């Protein structure tokens, strides 16, 4: 049994139109600079649904969305017959909340959110250290894992910076 069938057996039943529409955020992935658009949509999603919900619920909701995105991206890759195409941006979308996990600070100021967005985009594009190797994981897992890693590294950087300049990055 493949890793895909063990991790997300429901994904193989997703029809092409549903998986591709979700993975591209209803065509947003067809725009120029799709990863930036997916990240911007994820940032809006974070601001609307994650800010202030408490660490436990925040973490469970973020992990659940990452799991669902992994299966959806896997199905979309299969239907498109492409490996992690740029138009699939659900991975950036679901990674954004991981950037702002409120580990050390209660929340982030507007400057902290802008900085988090910029750091995430830099790490997602450059894929330093181990992040690049995560793309080699099978199917949707490889599609989503590198973005989650970039987001977690962004979170660590933001939390470190917020201890140095708390009044600027945190509220």
pLDDT at 117: 98
Distance, in Å, from the CA atom of 43 to the CA atom of 120, rounded to the nearest integer, reads: 11
pLDDT band at 86 (very low <50, low <70, confident <90, very high): very high
Nearest one of 90, 95, 89, 109 to 158, comparing CA atoms: 109
- b (16+ CB within 10 A) / e for 87-112: bbbbbbbbbbbbbbbbeebeebbeeb
User: Would you say 38 and 25 are in contact if contact means Cβ atoms under 8 Å apart?
Assistant: yes
Reply yes or no on whether the pLDDT at 163 is more than 90: no
Residue 44: both structure tokens together: 């809006």
Reply yes or no on whether the pLDDT at 99 is more than 70: yes
Reply yes or no on whether the pLDDT at 105 is more than 80: no
pLDDT band at 120 (very low <50, low <70, confident <90, very high): very high
> What is the residue-averaged pLDDT of the chain?
91
Q: Report pLDDT digits (tens) over 128-157.
A: 989 999 989 989 999 999 999 999 999 999
Cα dihedral: 56, 58, 64, 66 (round 10): -130
pLDDT band at 101 (very low <50, low <70, confident <90, very high): confident
Domains in the chain, please, with CATH? Answer: 13-169 (1.10.3760)
């Amino acid at each position: 049994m493949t890793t895909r069938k063990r991790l997300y057996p429901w994904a193989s039943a997703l029809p092409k139109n549903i998986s591709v529409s979700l993975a591209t955020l209803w065509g947003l992935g067809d725009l120029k600079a799709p990863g930036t658009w997916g990240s911007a949509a994820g940032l809006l999603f974070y601001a609307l649904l994650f800010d202030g919900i408490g660490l436990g619920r925040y973490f469970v909701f973020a992990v659940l969305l990452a799991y669902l995105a992994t299966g959806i991206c896997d199905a979309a890759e299969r239907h498109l017959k492409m490996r992690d195409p740029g138009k699939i941006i659900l991975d950036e979308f679901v990674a954004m909340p991981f950037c702002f996990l409120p580990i050390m600070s209660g929340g982030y100021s507007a400057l902290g959110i802008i900085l988090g967005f910029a750091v995430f985009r830099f790490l997602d594009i450059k894929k330093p250290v181990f992040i690049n190797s995560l793309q080699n994981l099978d199917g949707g897992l490889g599609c989503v894992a590198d973005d989650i890693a970039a987001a977690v590294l962004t979170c660590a950087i933001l939390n470190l910076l917020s201890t140095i300049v708390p009044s600027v990055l945190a509220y």
